[in-house]
Amino acid sequence: MSPLETVNEFIRRVCAKDLAGAAELVSDDIEYDNVPMGKNHGPEELVAFLSPMITTLDAVEFITHREAATGNIVMNERTDRFVKAGENYDIAVTGVFELNDDGKISLWRDYFDLAAATTVLGAMAEG
């Protein structure tokens, strides 16, 4: 797969709540950085971070508005939609992915407004 195809497959697996499958596409030393919130390292930490959120939701959708790939770098502008009790909760995100020479994602960095995300997460907790 090309880097863009790998990232899109990774996103598809995350949205399908197949975190074990998503972890197959990352390197053993992946750095997952939610820029305003902190970093996770390795596939185990990635899954441990995502699992509580993903498993409590009805659905997850990453709506990609724009994407670009240059070499082993993929960037996307997207809306991350979380569905809970029939309500949509959206967060605007810009993602940066870097793949290693083995074609695995070695860096996943998401940029988003922490105040807006906190508001959305608070609304999800209330809903």
Distance CA 88, CA 99 (A): 31
106, 98 Cβ separation under 8 angstroms: yes
The encoded tokens of residue 112 equal: 């988003």
Q: 29-86: per-residue pLDDT in tens?
A: 999 999 988 899 999 999 999 998 888 899 999 999 999 999 999 999 999 999 999 9
pLDDT at 53: 83
Distance CA 79, CA 61 (A): 8
With a cut of 70, say whether residue 17 has pLDDT above it: yes
What domains appear along the chain, each with residue ranges and CATH number?
3-126 (3.10.450.50)
Q: What is the mean pLDDT of residues 2-19?
A: 98
| Helix (H), strand (E) counts: the chain | 4, 6
Q: Which residue has 């290693």 as its token pair? A: 100
